[in-house]
Amino acid sequence: MVTDPIADFLTRIRNAQMAGHRIVEIPASNLKKKMTEILYDKGYILKYKFEDDSKQGLIKIALKYDPATRIPAIKGLDRISRPGLRQYAKPSEIRRVQSGLGIAILSTSKGVMTDKEAKALNVGGEVLCHIY
C-alpha cells in the first residue's frame, strides 16, 4: 500500500527517465489522470493512455526525450505538499517555478490546474508539486 500516491507517481516518472525507459506504467486515480493531462498539455510528455483493468486501471505514459542528446524533457519533479505537511497558497502567494520556466500543479476548489490557471481564476489551493 502506498501512503502518498502523488509522490509515487512522480517517483515512477523520475526513475523511468533516469533508466532511459520510453514508457512508464502507473496505477490510475482521477487526480493522477488530471496531472497526466496537464503534463501532456504543457509538453512534458509525449503521449499517454488510460487503460482499464480488473482493479483500478493503469496510466501508460510515453516519456519525452531530446532526439539528439536523449536528455529528458522533465528536468525536475518536486513534491511540495505531503501528507505530513500540507502546503496551501493563496492566489497572491503562488510562486513562479524556475522563474516561470516550470509549472506548479495545484489542487483547488475548481479542480486540479497549473499555477498560471489558478492565478487567472484567482483561486488558491494545495500546491501538489513543481515540474520543470
SS3 35: helix
Structure-derived torsion over alpha carbons of residues 119, 121, 127, 129, reported in degrees to the nearest 10: -80
pLDDT reported for residue 55:
86
Radius of gyration of the chain (CA): 15
Is 1's pLDDT higher than 90?
A: no
- Which contiguous run of DSSP H or E holds residue 89? strand 88-89
pLDDT at 105: 98
CB 78 within 8 A of CB 9: no
Per-residue pLDDT at 17 exceeds 90: yes
Assess whether pLDDT exceeds 80 at residue 56.
yes
pLDDT at 2: 80
Give the pLDDT mean for 27-43: 97
What's the grid cell of residue 23?
514508457
pLDDT, average across residues 9-38: 97
- What are the structural domains, with CATH classification, of the chain? 5-63 (3.30.1370.30), 77-131 (3.30.1490.10)
Distance CA 54, CA 105 (A): 29
Q: What pTM did the predictor assign?
A: 0.94
Binned at pLDDT 50, 70 and 90, residue 53 comes out as confident
